[in-house]
Structure 1
Amino acid sequence: MADRMTQPSDAPVEAFLDAVEPARRRADARVLDALFRKVTGWPPVLWGTSMLGYGRYAYTYASGHSGQSLATGFAPRKANMVVYIMPGYADFSEILSRLGPHKLGKSCLYLGALSKVDHDVLAELIRAGLADLGKRWDISPG
């Protein structure tokens, strides 16, 4: 059975955004939602219970394992805003050097206060991540 965190849901995005705590993280989530909508041109879908995804892709690995995932998106967590740049193969170090304070995971970026991040550079990173993903898998709007 697939993990619920990696499955799209029909839950209303506005209700999810309204429930983000604390208030500063909720405000940042709304800013990121607007940025992702503008950059991708796609409406968000709630994946699992805590990730907003913009676009999706289906994959099949050489091992035969297959599934689907969000193409890009974010999750507002209490400690950090987590931005997903999938699947994490490309070297985005030049873009990241201009972004502002962040920490890296395998396919995710951890941001503290969004006010300290260059939003134009974040938009560039989202576009670059989607372009890289599109070289490997077909991306659909939702």
Structure 2
Amino acid sequence: MQAKNKNQATDADVPTFIEALEDPQQKQDSLALLTMMEEITAEPARMWGPGIIGFGRYHYRYESGREGDFMRVGFSPRKGKLALYIIPGFEPFSAILQKLGKHSTGKSCLYIKSLSAVDQQALKELLHASVLEMERRYPRQ
């Protein structure tokens, strides 16, 4: 039997989740990211699992046969940092990352301390490029 993805889309309320954040800076940054990502994706925000705010949806199928749905882009306010989900990874975006400012990356996660610690235009450029790459790889049905 195929295991279910840990982070599924839920009906939890995004504004309620953001309002419950204890750190005022994370609350402010989350509201700004919410607006930024809604504008870039033209998609409404939706909770994925208990702590990820995602935008859009795509269906994937691996060669192993595993398949599922996930957000096209999103973010999660975590203790001491923001995690932004750049699903295609970072290889195609190295030039943009050089302009971004202080950050670190995982496979598909961009970690920043706060929005004020990075170049906002570079971040918007990265998010837009990521959404376009997802559209190329997984066209909307």
- CA deviation profile, 1:52-108 (whole Å, cap 9, x unmatched): 001010011112110111100100011210000113164211000001110011001
Number of positions where the alignment pairs a residue of Structure 1 with one of Structure 2: 139
Structure 2 CA distance for aligned equivalents of residues 138 and 80 of structure 1: 31
Further displaced range: 7-16 or 84-93: 84-93
Segments of 5+ residues of structure 2 without an aligned counterpart are none
Structure 2 CA distance for aligned equivalents of residues 139 and 130 of structure 1: 11
- CA deviation profile, 1:2-25 (whole Å, cap 9, x unmatched): 244x20000111100101121111
Greater RCO, 1 or 2 (C-alpha within 8 Å, sep 6+): 1
Partner of 2:11: 10
| Matched AA of 2:49 | G
Partner of 1:135: 136
Secondary structure in 2 matching 1:96: helix
Q: Does the Cα contact within 8 Å between 2:5 and 2:68 map onto a contact in 1?
A: no
Q: Does the Cα contact within 8 Å between 1:58 and 1:67 map onto a contact in 2?
A: yes
Q: Does the Cα contact within 8 Å between 1:95 and 1:124 map onto a contact in 2?
A: yes
| Matched AA of 1:52 | I
Structure 2 CA distance for aligned equivalents of residues 3 and 21 of structure 1: 28
1:68-79, aligned counterparts within 5 Å? Answer: 68-79=69-80
**TM norm structure 1:** 0.91
| Matched AA of 1:2 | K
Further displaced range: 127-136 or 67-76: 127-136
C-alpha deviation, 1:42, in angstroms: 1.1
Partner of 2:115: 114
Further displaced range: 7-16 or 127-136: 127-136
| Matched AA of 1:35 | M
Partner of 1:24: 25
Secondary structure in 1 matching 2:30: helix
Segments of 5+ residues of structure 1 without an aligned counterpart are none
Identical-pair percentage: 38
C-alpha deviation, 1:139, in angstroms: 4.0
Q: Does the Cα contact within 8 Å between 1:55 and 1:139 map onto a contact in 2?
A: no
Superposed CA RMSD: 1.4
In structure 2, the CA distance between the partners of 1:45 and 1:96, relative to structure 1 (3 Å rule), is same
